[in-house]
A and B are shown apart, each in its own frame.
Chain A
């Protein structure tokens, strides 16, 4: 007979977080880099003004997508393992919160490092560049806050 174990949300939250990072990264790469072509990974360091510099930026965009893919794959593996554990509650609310938390955290971390500190690229270069960058960070923080609130609600429900 196996002893009952206390519920542990961590594995589900970390899986959702990684998948949120991955999906958010793909939104950034596909929508902002490729479809809208507002920026590329190193477009403020290597301006994509001709085909060669564009191709160089495409390589770095590819590296960005490769790491995004790895994070997504690790997220799927983590979710798979979490699903097989009896002590991990299968909560849609916590998972949705973790997805939002991951997307927002990645936007915020990537925004602070790449846009603000290193200036690798900006969300929408040119006029009002700073406003676009700050808007990106605020959007990320809003996702983090919403995600964290959902996870905390689930945790309170579990410990009640």
Chain B
């Protein structure tokens, strides 16, 4: 209850409103509807190497995932009691 009351304090409310305003898309500097952003999205969509670029971006993560699986099994006791 005390925690709930703390979140409704004017200071907390002001911080929340300021955060929401700062995140409002209208004043965002990135401007998703501006010409460079539209051109960039179109360039990515029409790039014939899109799948290749996505694959090579993902590839190192796939390899580390395989290593993580191998490490997870490291030292797992065998049924006969030995430790690998």
Contact = CB atoms under 8 A, between A and B. Distances in A.
A1 to B, nearest CB: 19
Nearest to A6: B77
Interface string A57-81: 0011001100110110000001000
Contacts of B77: 5-6, 8
Interface in A88-111: 98, 102, 105-106, 109-110
B37 interface: yes
B76 A102 contact: no
A55 B40 contact: yes
Contact of A59 (B44, B65, B72): B44
Nearest to B60: A110
A106 B44 CA distance: 26
Interface in B34-72: 36-37, 39-40, 43-44, 49, 53-54, 56-61, 63-65, 67-69, 71-72
A113 B74 contact: no
Nearest to A120: B56
Interface of A: 5-11, 13-14, 17-18, 21, 41-42, 45, 51-53, 55-56, 59-60, 63-64, 67-68, 70-71, 78, 98, 102, 105-106, 109-110, 113-114, 118, 120, 155, 159
